[in-house]
Amino acid sequence: MANPNVTELNDANFTSFIEAASTPVLVDFWAPWCAPCRMLGPVVDEIATENVGKFAIAKVNVDDAPGVSAQFGIRSIPSLIYFKGGLKRDQSVGVSGKGEIVSKLTALL
């Protein structure tokens, strides 16, 4: 079941969402066939639920959004990209711990 606190982004809505966000944004680039992505998914969902209004959390299915994935040079998933003020501020590749992710988001406040 999809988390109501996580926005699904694609090639059509990505830029407008990132530019309109008033809080730091975490974007999880993932795919349903990726086992590490499925491990990271619940962590991202938990962060979204615990930080409503503090951070914006979004996911991009790389299979459904080839344009955005290419724009940010996504070659390995899961990839997390951190945005603030419409600009990319940080990135991590692979499964990250909850504490590390929240720390990177908090640094953007």
Q: From CA 73, how far away is CA 100, in angstroms rounded?
A: 22
Query: Is 0.95 surpassed by the pTM of this model?
Result: yes
Residue spans per domain, the chain: 6-106
Closest CA to 91 of 28, 32, 20: 28
The string of pLDDT tens digits covering residues 74-100 is: 999 999 999 999 999 999 999 999 999
Choose, from 25, 34, 40, 105, the residue flagged as catalytic. 34
Choose, from 6, 25, 26, 37, the residue flagged as catalytic. 37
Question: Does 1 score more than 70 pLDDT?
Answer: no
**Is 86 a known active-site residue?**
no
Mean pLDDT across the stretch 31-44? 97
Q: Read off the DSSP letter of residue 31.
A: -
What's the CATH superfamily of 6-106?
Answer: Glutaredoxin (3.40.30.10)
Q: For residue 33, what are its two tokens? A: 């066939």
**Is 35 a known active-site residue?**
no
